[in-house]
Amino acid sequence: MKRIFFVSFISLWTNCLICQVQNVDSLINILNTQETGPREQLSLYHQICDEIAFYDPERMMQYAKKGLILAQKEKDLLMLSLFNEYLGFYYSFTHKEDSAIVSFERALDLALKAKDITQETKLYVNLGAMNQSNNNLIKALDYYMKALD
């Protein structure tokens, strides 16, 4: 019984991963082959980063940087915030906590300027988690409390 469960679980997980990779490949194909405007390109960069964040952080970083450049050209504060958040995730995954905090703080400033409460809340939580992992518990608690406001 345990073997059946284990094999089923591994099979399901592998299928999900394959579907994710195919979805990302489709998004990249659209980005590279179709005429899309800047807004659509930003959306595609965001979707790609979102899909590959946890299983391919190096590739996510490449697309986050491309999205960041385009968002700067378009002066899109929310997208700038989102791509800075992805940079923070990358630095977090690669154990560069100080760089992650800087990226999350930059993203928070942009989210505040964009007046996007959902993004602000996510970033307060991310900053709380980063400070907690650095044993900066007072600052972590402060960020968590801001996320609840």
Question: What is the DSSP annotation of 41-95?
Answer: HHHHHHHHHHHHTTT-HHHHHHHHHHHHHHHHHHT-HHHHHHHHHHHHHHHHHTT
* Maximum separation of any 2 CA atoms in the chain, in Å: 57
User: In whole numbers, what is the pLDDT of the chain averaged over residues?
Assistant: 85
pLDDT at residue 33 greater than cutoff 80: no
* Sign of torsion over alpha carbons 80, 82, 83, 88: positive
Q: What digits encode the pLDDT tens for the residues 54-110? A: 889 999 999 999 999 999 999 999 999 999 999 999 999 999 999 999 999 999 999
What 3-state DSSP class applies to 149? Answer: coil
The helix or strand, by DSSP H or E, that contains position 4, with its residue range, turns out to be helix 2-33
Asked if 62 contacts 28 with a C-beta cutoff of 8 angstroms, the reply is no
Among 34, 81, 78, 84, CA closest to 64: 84
Taking the model in full, what pTM does it have? 0.81
Question: Which of 95, 55, 38, 128 is closest to 46 using CA atoms?
Answer: 38
